[in-house]
Structure 1
Amino acid sequence: MFPSPEEKNFGFYLTGAGSDNPFSSFMVDQIPDLAFWGSSTGQFFSRYTYREIEDDNSLFSGVEDPRVDNITDAALADYRKTYGPEVTKDDIFYYVYGLLHSPDYRNQFAADLKRSLPRIPKVTDFPAFVEAGRKLAKLHIGYESVQPYPLEEKVTGPTPTPLDELYRVQKMKFKSRDDRSTIVYNSRVTVSEIPERAYRYQLGARSAVEWIIDRYQVKTDKASGIVNDPNDWSEDPRYIIDLLGRIVTVSLETVDIVEALPPMEILDA
């Protein structure tokens, strides 16, 4: 699926059948961890696969494009028969991603999603789900480049302070159990004005914001003594605090897109 850094690809991760976490899906353009967001199991559905070309005598020698479209010609013909000749393979892929985010879909097929791969029905408003899927895919793949939500930052202590010290994180936490609008970023920095609505976007059993709080902390592996320090992941001293703001933006926009989806009206077979 990702044969080399030069070969681009993308796809969506799904919580696997039998997972102890609620069903979720997320679009990525890199190799995902199949235990993504703490799921015990998961599956990845890429837009393309790549044929292996070993040498000049291989089966695919001379093939200009080793990339294989994972939306088959048969699937395209079937969807065009239902929705018209203008439907593309990309439309089908994004339709699936949009449908997987539909609250109606997740509620109606909740029992099935716990034990098997998703069943993808055809619905009346195909274009609406295609458009939503495209928007969600762009938003989720590009989460590191969206505009950070304008959180209010409060800094205490002596100034000036080098930015790499001021924004160094150890372990973020909520100000209190009853107030998720404010996060204690470190001993000197507090961020507030996080809308409660942002916590409605869930990845598995937690909101996306809570996953950032959990994953971006300094941890030491007991067995090896290796320190996992997220402060080393970027040369930008504001990377983590800005990422927190970006995830709030992604969460709010995801909720807006999902809530604007039409009712899921399944076509008769």
Structure 2
Amino acid sequence: MKNDVNWENKFSRCLYRPFDIRWLYYHDALIERPRKEVMHHMMEENLGLISVRQVAEGVFNHAYVTDTIIESRITISNKGIGFVFPLYLYPDPNQKKIMGHSPRKEPNIKPELIKSLTETYGKEPTPEEIFYYIYGVLYSNTYRTKYAEFLKIDFPRVPFTGDYELFNRMGECGRRLVDLHLMRSSELDYPIAKFQGIGDNVVEKVRYVEEGGRIYINKIQYFEGVEKEVWEYQIGGYQVLDKWLKSHKGRELTLEDIKHYCRVVTALKKTIEVQMKVDEIYEGVENVIRD
């Protein structure tokens, strides 16, 4: 490391757990399996779909989005680690140096699929539109239930509707979910949760009290306004709100931490609302499957 003149440029944001981004010193000398053949695509402006190959126990809720590199246990499954699928593929950084210029990024979507969708819809969908559609479908509870057995043994497979209006409506829900999960949605500007109590803000013992919707972080301080279904909501096998706090156990929450957590509560509440709309649309998707 001491011989690396660019050592200061190795710090990177890393998605550690859902809604939990950490700073990582991304250097080969410290990271056992950096997976740069994939992760270098996420070092550029990009979106990445996160999922798993198998979910042997419980229900499938292993779909998430990132715009950074990820930690392998971003999802939890007794059948393997989380995978990230970048929307765009960027040229190898070493190749870029040799060529002296920056070749274009390429969509990580089979040209055959884009061609088929273009023929079906009468216009070519953008890579982002396809990404949002897929993300929306993966958040359909109807889809997750119907294909539960298949999702236990392989990567999710997404049915594409033959109806362009349904494609757009599902994609709009997917876009809304992506913005919520990347914490960039204006819907998060007015959080539904509040932090109460005077103390040292240290996370000690986490417990939920349904009356008042309170999440205690210690004996006297708590977040309030959290409905039970929001408290229990899972992404990637993790109970999101519980996991976030337990990952910060023993730490003093800063003002930014508290604001962030209140926004996460809001994001989960909004996610549940969007999922209801997704299921309404998905019924139509199943009725008009593209050949």
Match of 1:64 in 2: 102
- Asked if the contact 2:64/2:236 (under 8 Å) is kept, the reply is no
Matched, 1:22 2:59: yes
The CA distance in 2 between the partners of 1:195 and 1:180, in whole Å, is 8
Matched, 1:167 2:201: yes
Q: Given the superposition, is the C-alpha separation of residues 19 and 10 from structure 1 closer, same or farther in structure 2, using an over 3 Å criterion?
A: farther
Which residues in structure 2 correspond to 1:1-269 (within 5 Å)?
A: 1-3=38-40, 7-20=44-57, 22-23=59-60, 24-40=62-78, 41=80, 42-54=82-94, 61=99, 64-123=102-161, 124=163, 125-142=166-183, 146-147=188-189, 149-156=191-198, 166-175=200-209, 179=211, 181-199=213-231, 201-218=233-250, 229=251, 231=252, 237-261=254-278, 262=281, 263=283, 264-265=285-286, 266-267=288-289, 269=291
The CA distance in 2 between the partners of 1:88 and 1:196, in whole Å, is 38
* Equivalent position amino acid for 2:173 in 1: A
Q: Given the superposition, is the C-alpha separation of residues 66 and 86 from structure 1 closer, same or farther in structure 2, using an over 3 Å criterion?
A: closer
Structure 2: state its 5+ residue gaps.
Answer: 1-37
Shift of 1:99: 0.8
**TM-score when scaled to structure 1?**
0.77
- Asked if the contact 1:71/1:89 (under 8 Å) is kept, the reply is yes
The CA distance in 1 between the partners of 2:42 and 2:138, in whole Å, is 29
Higher percent of residues as helix: 2
The range that moved more, 209-218 or 250-259, is: 209-218
The CA distance in 2 between the partners of 1:51 and 1:107, in whole Å, is 39
Q: Given the superposition, is the C-alpha separation of residues 80 and 21 from structure 1 closer, same or farther in structure 2, using an over 3 Å criterion?
A: same
* Equivalent position amino acid for 2:228 in 1: E
The range that moved more, 241-250 or 259-268, is: 259-268
* Equivalent position amino acid for 1:183 in 2: I
Kindly name which structure, 1 or 2, has the bigger radius of gyration based on alpha carbons. Answer: 1
Q: Given the superposition, is the C-alpha separation of residues 203 and 48 from structure 1 closer, same or farther in structure 2, using an over 3 Å criterion?
A: same
- Asked if the contact 2:191/2:265 (under 8 Å) is kept, the reply is yes
- Asked if the contact 2:76/2:238 (under 8 Å) is kept, the reply is no
The CA distance in 2 between the partners of 1:55 and 1:152, in whole Å, is 50
Matched residue SS, 2:136: helix
Matched residue SS, 2:69: coil
Shift of 1:57: 9.3
Structure 1: state its 5+ residue gaps.
Answer: 157-164, 219-228
- Asked if the contact 1:2/1:9 (under 8 Å) is kept, the reply is no
* Equivalent position amino acid for 1:208 in 2: V
**TM-score when scaled to structure 2?**
0.72
How many residues were matched structurally? 242
Shift of 1:84: 2.1
**Aligned-residue CA RMSD (Å):** 2.9
- Asked if the contact 2:43/2:68 (under 8 Å) is kept, the reply is no
